[in-house]
Structure 1
Amino acid sequence: MTPFKTTYGALTPLKMLPGVAGFAAVLMAAPLHAQTPPDAGQLLREQPKAPSVVPATPAPIAPAAPAAEPDAGPRVLVKGFRIQGALLISEAELVAQLQDVVGKELSFRQLQGTASHLIAYYAQKGYLARVVLPPQDVKDGIVVLQVVEGKRGSLRIDRQGERLDSARVERLIDGRLASGDTMDIARLGEALNILNEQPGIEAKAALAPGKGEAEIDLVVTAADKPLTNYSLGINNQGSVGTGKEQANGSISINNPTGSFDAASLMLNASQGATFGRADYSRAVGDGGLRLGVNASRLDYRLVQSTFAALRGQGSASTVGLTASYPLARREDFNLSFTAAADGKQLIDRTVAGETGNRNVTVASLGLDGYRVDGPDSLLSGGITRFGTSLVVGNSDQRNRAALTADRAGRQVQGGFSKLGYSLGRLQSLTETWSIDAGLRGQFAGKNLDSTERFSLGGPGGVRGYPVGEASGDEGWLFNASLNYRMNDSVGLSTFVDAGGITINRRTWAGWNAGTPGLSNSYELAGAGFGFDWRPSKSILINATLAGPLGSNPGRDARGRDSDNDTGTRSWLSLTAQF
């Protein structure tokens, strides 16, 4: 396997297959890179992905505020405090929180307020505690406060639904916060967070006095969410090779067996392509681990007039395994581990016969998460997103002519590896204005199969260019938008996009013989405006108008992009969820 390097290589036009003379002749008639026909691998890469688990963020749990007492009676000159019963936080640290009132005369109500202040400080540190002002004769101005640090007492599950497994809910909570443990709000919140991520479940917790003085009982209300969810949509975000206009639909079945499982089916169709994917996953154990299986099928034919003579068609079939585990699910920090293994069979044909028949196997490991700004952060009011992934695999071309062409050119055959990364920031400016910016990309160890390459164009990339524009083994993409929320239903944005690709990680003699003006590495940029409207809770409409900034080095001889067009592009989508 070729080791990683941080320098870019290059991307290539599809190589002419010398063993298929008719196909080679048609390809040679397309003089520039922008007019290379897509294959099954590229079209598979452009299909919708299964939705990822979005970490839940339940409201923080905090003790109720004590009832206010009349501000009457004698006052005491406070010269200091003595804290009794504190184990989780040092006495010196607690006393330091009360220095603002030292040297002042306080009423009984104000003294109780110091106890409430320490309760809030315990909560800020992630613990539940009672702080009381015991009966006392204040001597030398020293006020005694008694701390009772909470321990988790009993756990009761309030089951509201037919599909819920109460025992499983109880085991998940116990695994994060067992009976007798310090009542750690962060650990309790993490347990509820993981529980709320399970399909078809909604959970919340309430606290109640326990039998012992320090015990806090936990009552978790767990309810069934709807068994099924549906979505229907239309958009113009497909590949020009198989038709831009697409219709799609999906159905999800949530927790049908009570084992925190989920099944889904997704279909996507355009003029020249049909794609379907089925997924099933379930929780394994009681710590949040999920395992899944999936399968998909793509059948396509090229409908773009540029490639009509090719009569290109093909298919892609995949099967896969997935795993995910929540490493952290705190209120201000989330981190997930993911793993996957996939097998893909890709077949391409033209009027001249089969032009490719390969099997691609892939394994990946990934980390992704986000961090919410805290009160002591340099910046505030924002969320930082991050992620990285390592992919290794093998491409096995079984078509003899395609394999011969590959050995003479790109040399994709065999093992490969790539490293992906992403970093983003959502920054609130006011209640209605925000900035969202992100950078993502990949490095490759060698020239990659088309299923693993990086593309710049499309509604998720440089929006001034068509889907699939500028594909390469390595690349980077930057998106930034200024967003304005008019109200809960309508949002406006203006954005700028930029990216760069290296067409081939490794070039070879004559790689651009048919396109001598094409550089192995180049950049694209664009800018535009966006609009989103939610006329009802279940319907979302998105519209984007974008145009290029600068020129496209990968354009054809007529100065056109891969969709035979130039200038501005509009992206439209309508989605209904039920």
Structure 2
Amino acid sequence: MLLLAVAGHAQVPGAPHAPNAANVPSIPRAGQTMRDLETVRPELPAPSSLELDLPKADDRSVPAASADPGIRLKVQGFRIDGNKVFDSAQLLPLLSDLNGSEQDLAGLHAAADRITAYYHAHGYLLARAFLPPQDIEDGLIRLEVMEGRYGQVVLQNKSRAFDGVLRQPLSRLRRGEAVHSAELESSLLLLNDIPGAEAKGTLQSGTEPGTTDLLVEAEPGPLAGGSLEADNYGGYYTGEYRLGGSFYLNNPLRLGDQLSLRVLGSDKRQRYYRAGYQLPVGPWSTRVGVSYSDMGYHLGKDFAVLEAHGRASIRSVFVSQPLLRGRAFNLSAQLQYDDKRLRDEMDLFERNVGKRVGLWTAGVNGNGQDNVFGGGQTMFSASYSTGRLRIDDPYTEFIDQVSARTGGSFSKMNLSAARLQRLSNRFQLYAQANAQWASGNLDGSEKFGMGGPYGVRAYALGAGSGDQGWQASLELRYAVAPGWQLSAFVDKSVVDVNKQPWTRERNTRRLTGAGIGGAWAGQGHQISLALAWPLGQRDASGGPVRSPRFWVQGAQYF
């Protein structure tokens, strides 16, 4: 029975008087450990910046009608020429109230301004309607529109990327097309998204009447960068104190590509490595990439006697597609495949269990900024995953089949959202929530975690997890001085341990905590800390209960 309970980590279905799992330390596994290691709190991206010189419409070729300002004309109707973006059936209703009225020259110019305003409201900021010289017959007034069309699109490339790479985001800005602010903004931002390139756009008068040339200057961005971090964000049994580093190299092949590396180690011999590579393909700024991550662990503290250790590796390939790109709102979609290989060993019992998960994930994520109630930032994501778990050890597979039945096909859906709301010059309110729904009982690598620095902060990493549930945080932030911030927060999480319960053990777990925090950010470095107290239930499954629990992280960026 000892072997069944420890090595199999299972209970006999329907066993009476089952112990409360919240009070029993849970043996970390490779899948759960890797899941906790790669989980991060949703971060609001920095607002998109764009350097664009947008001149007024070119007046050189706009012949102004002139007449005695005191003359009044009986208007029977209007005719609009030069309009291609909007047909006359859309524009003429803007002037319908003027039919049958008498107008002087100023009134007719005001009529043209209505058309101009309509174009501007729809993003055509260089368009202009005007009253050309004409002989008016039968009260029919002719207005002409110059829509502000592209002439030449000139790229001056000083970055490391090839010209062809930088021209791809600009390919939608075609000669003869009307200049639309959203399309122009999107193209330049997508160009700026290319690692190692920083672009500036300038619109200037074209060589042909009614045209505008776009000059794009691409300057070299950072060739490389990275960070060093130290924290106590690790698991109690795998090593709380960690030291890590990240490094990225932009444009190593001059293809708009990026190579990224990350290493992490704990004080209990946990090691983590990750390498990733991605590059843009095609005219729509699609990005494809691959990554490989590997983690090894050894259990210490109460579980050292088990001589337990293991390894997890993940091979991933993904494709990401921007759907909307702008300074105010962004939306993208991603498709990813993960091949997860998990192995746990207990030398005391000579147990060696391997698992393999193939997982497809499709998702969308977005972010934006607005002026609602004083202004704020919002981000959200939604994903659907479907996969299959294979267990290579017959004994473990048998235990699974008569208990949790996690093997085989499964699916899950994840949602997350966050909002940073400005309250005043010094106060901000931050709220975030995430949730998971599952089709059935899940392996530990796919469960929803509750505790830790990115969950309910009053509890240890690995304290509580379930097949489905939710977690939310509310945080009031106060800017003491530039770079200095204090906060007070409350966290809560509720999960169903098993989607389909198979024991009499309580299946719902709730964790709540509250605390205070502080952060300091300077030029290239940052320190954050938090103190959190559990409210209500005390969960020891991830390690000893501490009140308060202290989290600290420091980072140096270069």
Q: TM class, shorter-chain normalised?
A: 0.7 to 0.9
* Change in CA separation of 1:381 and 1:106 when aligned onto 2, cut-off 3 Å: farther
Aligned ranges for residues 289-328 of structure 1 at < 5 Å?
289-303=286-300, 305-328=301-324
Q: Deviations over 1:198-252 (max 9, x none)?
A: 2111112110111221211111111221111121010111111111111000110
Instruction: Give the corresponding residue for 1:46.
Output: 36
Instruction: Give the corresponding residue for 2:542.
Output: 562
Indicate which of 466, 472, 478 corresponds to 2:472: 478
1:521 aligns with 2:515: no
Aligned ranges for residues 44-443 of structure 1 at < 5 Å?
44-48=34-38, 57-59=48-50, 63-64=54-55, 85-88=82-85, 122-127=119-124, 128-131=126-129, 146-161=144-159, 163-174=160-171, 176-272=172-268, 273-303=270-300, 305-350=301-346, 351-373=348-370, 381-443=375-437
2:72·2:105 contact (CA, 8 Å) conserved in 1?
Answer: no
Shift of 1:112: 8.9
Shift of 1:30: 9.1
Q: Deviations over 1:301-343 (max 9, x none)?
A: 012x222221211111221111101111133331111111111
Instruction: Give the corresponding residue for 1:6.
Output: none
Distance in 2 separating the partners of 1:55 and 1:89:
36
Distance in 1 separating the partners of 2:47 and 2:167:
19
Shift of 1:64: 2.9
Unpaired runs of at least 5, structure 1: 1-14, 68-73, 513-517
Distance in 1 separating the partners of 2:5 and 2:471:
37
Shift of 1:89: 5.2
Distance in 2 separating the partners of 1:532 and 1:111:
60
Matched letter for residue 349 of structure 1: E
Distance in 2 separating the partners of 1:245 and 1:181:
58
Shift of 1:138: 12
Distance in 2 separating the partners of 1:294 and 1:205:
34
Shift of 1:506: 1.0
Q: Deviations over 1:143-172 (max 9, x none)?
A: 9875311111111101113x2211222232
Distance in 1 separating the partners of 2:344 and 2:7:
15
Q: Deviations over 1:494-541 (max 9, x none)?
A: 222111011011112xx25xxxxx5201221112222211132x1011
Secondary structure of the residue aligned to 1:476 is strand
2:437·2:467 contact (CA, 8 Å) conserved in 1?
Answer: yes
Matched letter for residue 41 of structure 1: G
Matched letter for residue 568 of structure 1: P
Distance in 2 separating the partners of 1:389 and 1:202:
31
Distance in 2 separating the partners of 1:384 and 1:53:
7
Matched letter for residue 367 of structure 2: Y
1:234·1:248 contact (CA, 8 Å) conserved in 2?
Answer: yes
Distance in 2 separating the partners of 1:318 and 1:30:
34
1:17·1:355 contact (CA, 8 Å) conserved in 2?
Answer: no
Secondary structure of the residue aligned to 2:424 is coil
Shift of 1:59: 3.6
* Change in CA separation of 1:31 and 1:426 when aligned onto 2, cut-off 3 Å: closer
* Change in CA separation of 1:332 and 1:20 when aligned onto 2, cut-off 3 Å: closer
Secondary structure of the residue aligned to 1:402 is helix
Shift of 1:562: 2.7
Shift of 1:446: 1.0
Matched letter for residue 493 of structure 2: G
Distance in 2 separating the partners of 1:232 and 1:77:
76
Indicate which of 514, 518, 521 corresponds to 1:534: 521
Q: Percent identity?
A: 32
Instruction: Give the corresponding residue for 1:547.
Output: 533
Distance in 2 separating the partners of 1:107 and 1:242:
82
* Change in CA separation of 1:252 and 1:21 when aligned onto 2, cut-off 3 Å: closer
* Change in CA separation of 1:85 and 1:76 when aligned onto 2, cut-off 3 Å: farther
Shift of 1:436: 2.0
Q: Deviations over 1:38-95 (max 9, x none)?
A: 111111011246999969734485743589xxxxxx9879999977645545789889
Aligned ranges for residues 458-477 of structure 1 at < 5 Å?
458-477=452-471
What is the number of residues matched between the two proteins?
537
Shift of 1:432: 3.1
* Change in CA separation of 1:126 and 1:31 when aligned onto 2, cut-off 3 Å: closer
1:20·1:352 contact (CA, 8 Å) conserved in 2?
Answer: no
1:78·1:142 contact (CA, 8 Å) conserved in 2?
Answer: no
Q: What TM-score results when the alignment is normalised by the length of structure 1?
A: 0.82
Secondary structure of the residue aligned to 2:215 is strand
Distance in 1 separating the partners of 2:305 and 2:18:
11
Matched letter for residue 342 of structure 2: L
Shift of 1:488: 3.6
1:18 aligns with 2:4: yes
Indicate which of 419, 437, 447 corresponds to 2:441: 447
* Change in CA separation of 1:112 and 1:530 when aligned onto 2, cut-off 3 Å: farther
Shift of 1:484: 2.5
* Change in CA separation of 1:112 and 1:529 when aligned onto 2, cut-off 3 Å: farther
* Change in CA separation of 1:525 and 1:30 when aligned onto 2, cut-off 3 Å: closer
* Change in CA separation of 1:106 and 1:480 when aligned onto 2, cut-off 3 Å: farther
2:44·2:367 contact (CA, 8 Å) conserved in 1?
Answer: no
Secondary structure of the residue aligned to 1:406 is helix
Shift of 1:115: 7.8
Distance in 1 separating the partners of 2:44 and 2:168:
21
Shift of 1:473: 0.8
Matched letter for residue 148 of structure 1: M
Q: What TM-score results when the alignment is normalised by the length of structure 2?
A: 0.84
* Change in CA separation of 1:348 and 1:22 when aligned onto 2, cut-off 3 Å: closer
Distance in 1 separating the partners of 2:71 and 2:434:
60
Matched letter for residue 307 of structure 1: F
Secondary structure of the residue aligned to 2:37 is coil
Shift of 1:426: 2.6
Shift of 1:126: 1.1
Distance in 2 separating the partners of 1:523 and 1:421:
19
Matched letter for residue 313 of structure 1: H
* Change in CA separation of 1:422 and 1:20 when aligned onto 2, cut-off 3 Å: closer
Task: Indicate the structure whose relative CO is greater, using CA pairs within 8 Å and at least 6 residues apart.
Answer: 1
Instruction: Give the corresponding residue for 1:35.
Output: 25
Shift of 1:424: 2.8
Matched letter for residue 297 of structure 2: Y
2:57·2:127 contact (CA, 8 Å) conserved in 1?
Answer: no
Unpaired runs of at least 5, structure 2: 12-16, 59-67
Matched letter for residue 543 of structure 1: L
1:506 aligns with 2:500: yes
Secondary structure of the residue aligned to 1:485 is strand
2:279·2:287 contact (CA, 8 Å) conserved in 1?
Answer: yes
* Change in CA separation of 1:17 and 1:116 when aligned onto 2, cut-off 3 Å: farther
Q: Deviations over 1:445-482 (max 9, x none)?
A: 11111111101111111111111111111110111222
Instruction: Give the corresponding residue for 1:4.
Output: none
1:58·1:192 contact (CA, 8 Å) conserved in 2?
Answer: no
2:47·2:327 contact (CA, 8 Å) conserved in 1?
Answer: no
Distance in 2 separating the partners of 1:78 and 1:160:
58
